[in-house]
């Protein structure tokens, strides 16, 4: 995928996110695409730094003044004192830099030996960025895993079978069913629960809910209280 392809997909997923239609799998896909785009931009930035450093070095070589003609009639003069930068450059070319040398840090930035190779400051920045991406990805995966485990536990508890509807409906739930589903008719509620509790299978109980109770009391199938009663009936016949 090109960078533009990644950006286009992120725009589509971003539109779904703003509209509240982004699913869990699409959230993971969006995170993966964002990480991929970030890694590519970090590599491009690293390459840009290398080009800038190369251009600066080439400019220094071009601007270095040429030595003037030597006047043999004059007594030899004391060699001009080299600038601090030239001294440091010469020292680096002749001797391995010391890890804690302040002059080396000032002139070339920290250099970390790794076997026979050396890592430049820009490479260190690139490595740090990639490590940070990995940490963010791990943190995101841990959060998704925790949410999945919590959801799985809640589902297992919710789907735990019950032997008797009458004894499983608490006082608060009973009051909620009577007032919101049975028009405050306690007797009708008790009769309906007894019927739901006496069927031979959930198919019969569901048919009773859909064809009798829902039509009689005008229940909305999306009503959370209706769904709560249906869930109890399902657990009764697990």
Q: Give the separation between CA 193 and CA 198, rounded to whole angstroms.
A: 9
Give domain limits for the chain.
Answer: 3-63+120-148, 165-236
CB 201 within 8 A of CB 207: no
Mean pLDDT by 10 residues, the chain (238 residues): 89 88 86 89 84 80 58 51 51 51 49 51 66 74 60 55 89 94 95 93 93 94 93 91
Dig out the tokens for 78 from the structure. 């004391």
The residue with tokens 């995170």 is 31
Please answer whether residues 133 and 39 qualify as being in contact, where contact means their C-beta atoms are separated by less than 8 angstroms: yes
Q: Rounded distance, CA 237 to CA 205, Å?
A: 9
CA distance 213 to 182: 9
Q: What is the pLDDT of residue 154?
A: 46
The pLDDT, as a whole number, for residue 105 is: 45
Q: What is the pTM of this model?
A: 0.37
């Amino acid at each position: 995928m090109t960078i533009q392809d990644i950006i286009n997909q992120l725009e589509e997923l971003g539109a779904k996110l703003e509209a509240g239609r982004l699913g869990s799998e699409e959230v993971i896909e969006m995170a993966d695409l964002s990480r991929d785009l970030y890694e590519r931009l970090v590599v491009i930035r690293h390459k840009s730094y290398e080009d800038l450093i190369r251009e600066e070095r080439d400019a220094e070589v071009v601007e270095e003044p040429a030595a003037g003609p030597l006047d043999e009639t004059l007594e030899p003069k004391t060699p001009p004192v080299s600038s601090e930068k030239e001294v440091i450059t010469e020292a680096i070319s002749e001797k391995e830099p010391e890890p804690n040398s302040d002059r080396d840090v000032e002139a070339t930035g920290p250099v970390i030996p790794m076997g026979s190779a050396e890592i430049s400051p820009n490479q260190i920045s690139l490595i740090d960025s990639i490590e940070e991406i990995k940490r963010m990805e791990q943190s995101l995966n841990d959060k998704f895993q925790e949410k999945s485990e919590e959801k799985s536990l809640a589902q297992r508890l919710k789907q735990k079978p019950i032997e008797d509807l009458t004894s499983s409906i608490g006082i608060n739930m009973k009051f909620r069913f009577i007032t919101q589903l049975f028009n405050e008719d306690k007797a009708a509620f008790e009769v309906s629960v007894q019927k739901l509790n006496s069927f031979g299978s959930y198919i019969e109980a569901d048919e009773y809910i859909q064809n009798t109770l829902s039509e009689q009391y005008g229940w909305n199938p999306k009503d959370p209280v209706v769904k709560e009663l249906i869930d109890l009936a399902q657990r009764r016949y697990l």
